[in-house]
Each structure stands twice: as structure tokens, then as C-alpha cells.
Amino acid sequence: MIRIEERIANKKAKEIYEILRKQHIVSKQQLLEQSTLTVSTLTRVLEDLHSSGWIEEVGFGDSTGGRRPILYQRTAKQCYAFGLDISRIHTKLVLCDLHYTKYDTQTWAVTTDTSPDILIREVVGRIKVMMEKHQLSHDQILGLGIGGVGPVDRHQGIMMNPIYFPAEGWEHVAITEALEEQLAFPVLLDNGANTALLAEYWCDRESRLDHMLYVHVGTGLRSSVISEGKIVYGAVDMEGAVGQMIIQTDGPPPRDPKGNYGCLDSYVSVYAIEQQARARLKQGRTSVLSQWVKRPEQVQFAHLLQALQKNDEMTKEIFVQAAVYLGIGLANLIHILHPERIILGGPLGNSSTLFFETAVESAKRHCYDHPDYQVDFTRGLLGEEALATGAAILVMNRLTQLPANPQTKEEQAML
């Protein structure tokens, strides 16, 4: 099995490739200015990367008085990567080239029957179909990245015990090892919130920022932070930790017995707004929901989205209330993390313009330094595609990393 870090073996070549990756199209002069290489070394590195197929010439730049400079970019189809999003509602598989262009996709619903064995069998089968369909050999595949429901052990490739996951049997699943055995190429694992933020960071060539916060609002709350262009990792992966932020100490009891009273998750999650709708219907509130369900307990998130589209007053009230609380939570995070941009994702985060705009206004209202300190709020470029696309990018990130344990003399010399 070819390690991803070995694909581009030379440390200097990795440096140049990373600059090209961040800026997409760059001239030799720009590379010289931004790298640590001399002219002769840069010329040799460019020749090596070009002859091995990693970069290509894409025309000429504007002249500054002399010969027009040759422009370079990464070769999109040099290799491909698969990305897998394992979420609580669905599993999505994508195939991407090195420019993050999606070539194929497959989505499966996650149900109470989605055991690890069943999911792994489906994923392996579909990957083989995609490779045959697009005539890809194993050598052309960098690997498979997984953005999973946490908590995960990304170093060991283990899904520990996914919170609020509908299927049983997912305790301590060594998913990367199981998939590598059947696929014979590298498999990497990270929390899905991290892979989503990776996708939003790398796919935004026009306005990429180095300090960003991603909050996924769905069945629960998930978050990720990029600082100086890199994902911030703590000592452990605490899935749903942002949802345990205390908003009101005498607030409602937590859904999880280990959780906090009055935590953000009790106000802002699919579960929370479903509970709010059921409670208000039991109180006799008028709503279009009563036409679609026989009992309040039958109300589901899909019903609420329909009612919101119908401009149902009770449903709008519930979404606005949840958004206001989310804004309070976002303001707390702003005060701690100081991001340049906040991306809201997930089924609830992307549910409506009303929800998004209310949350943003609430966050600004509770932010101590506003308006002097302005944060850019967005729903992102990729929506629910972000988790799987970012999982593929997780694999591509390894191209420019140095091998952790150098095996060859060449690898040792790189260090």
C-alpha cells in the first residue's frame, strides 16, 4: 500500500505543491517570492513535479517588461480521493479529483439496521463500482477519508460511540482498519465537523480566511475551528460539546442524562424544536401541523419544515426562539475564539433564511465588540456536501505532510 505522504517524496516539492494548492494558479516568480528555494532549486523542483505529472503549465501571465511568465497549477486528474460522510441521517460517498471537483456520489439512509458490517459492505461495493465506471486503477486513488459522527479517535481510526446514532453496534469500531483491509489503499478518519470546515476552507478560493468557526446544527450540535489555516484539535474529540454550553442554569433538563440543565442543545437542535412543537400543540395552539398528524407526538422535523414554508405562525415562533438562543451561543464562542467567519451548517442551520438571519442578528446583539469587530456569517458554499467533500480533502492534505516515521533514506534525508 502506497502511503499518501510518499506520493510527493521531496520536502521542497511538497513546499511548492502546497503554495500551488493554496493559490491555484501561480507563476515561477511568485513561487520564488513565496518559497524558501533558490532559482536553480525551484527550476529543478518544477521540472520534477511537471515530469511526474503533479503540475501542469496553463498559459502565460502578464508581462512586467520582459518575457511573459509561465503559469502553473496542480494537475486535477493526477490522482483521486474518496470522501465518506457518516452522519446520523445519511451516509454519503463522493469521488473527487485534486481540484475538489466531484465526479460521482452515492447516498444511503442511516436507519436502525445500519450496522458497521452492512455499511462497510455497501461502501466497499460502491467504491469498486465507481472505480470501474471511471476506469480508475488503485494507483490513481490516494485514499478514502471519513468524516464521522463523534466521538472518534482519529489517530487509531476508531469510531468510539456515536452520540444519538440510530443504529446499534457502533461502539469502538475500528473502521479505517476494516476498510483498508478490503480496499488496499489508505483510509483516514476525523470528526465530520472538521471535514466540513476543511471543505469550506479549501473550496473558497476567492475569500479564504484563516480563522473560521463551523457550527453544524442538526440532531445535535457539532463544531470545528480553523486557526492560521489549520484545524484546531484538543486533547480528545468531544462530539456535541458545544451543545453543552449553559445558556440558562434553571433551564430545561438535558436530553442526555450526563448533560447540563439549560444547555444550548436543549434550545437549538432538531430534537429541541420537535419537543417545542409537540408541547405547544398539546397546549391547544393553532397550527397547520394539526392537519398532518393525529397526535402531537407524531410531529417530525420534516413536518416543521413544511409548516415553515406555509408561513405557519406557531412554527415560525419556534424557529425564531431557537435562532435567538443559537445567537447567544455564537456570541459566547465569538468572545472566546475571535473568528473572522462563522459558517452555519446542518439541517436546522440551513433550514430557512428566517432562522439564519435571526441567529446572526442575535449573535451581533450579544457580541461585546460589535460593530467594531465584524464577523462574516454565512451558510457556506457546499451545504450538506461539505462533510463528504472535506473527507476527501482530508486525504489530499497528507500529500504535503512529511512522513511521521521515515522508512527510506530519502525520507530520512527530508527531515
CATH classification at residue 71:
1.10.10.10
Same domain, 117 and 256: no
Confidence (pTM): 0.92
pLDDT averaged over every residue in the chain = 92
Q: What is the pLDDT of residue 187?
A: 98
The answer, yes or no, to whether residue 64 has pLDDT greater than 90, is no
Domain that holds residue 171: 80-199+387-400
CATH classification at residue 391:
3.30.420.40
What are the φ and ψ backbone dihedral angles of 231, each rounded to 5 degrees? -60, 135
Same domain, 184 and 299: no
- Does residue 406 fall inside a structural domain? no
Q: Give the DSSP per-residue string, 195-233.
A: HHHHHHHHH--SS--SSEEEEEESSSEEEEEEETTEE--
Q: What is the pLDDT of residue 234?
A: 87
CA nearest neighbour of 108 among 84, 131, 130, 132: 84
The single-letter DSSP state of residue 246 is: B
Mean pLDDT along residues 40-48: 95
Mean pLDDT along residues 193-211: 92
Cell 470528526 sits on residue: 191
Same domain, 62 and 153: no
Mean pLDDT along residues 94-102: 97
Contact (Cβ atoms closer than 8 angstroms) between residue 348 and residue 222: no
The answer, yes or no, to whether residue 411 has pLDDT greater than 70, is no
Same domain, 151 and 50: no
Q: What is the pLDDT of residue 386?
A: 94
Count of domains for the chain: 3
Q: What are the helix (H) ranges across 1-138?
A: 11-23, 28-34, 39-51, 116-133
Same domain, 270 and 291: yes
Q: What is the pLDDT of residue 361?
A: 97
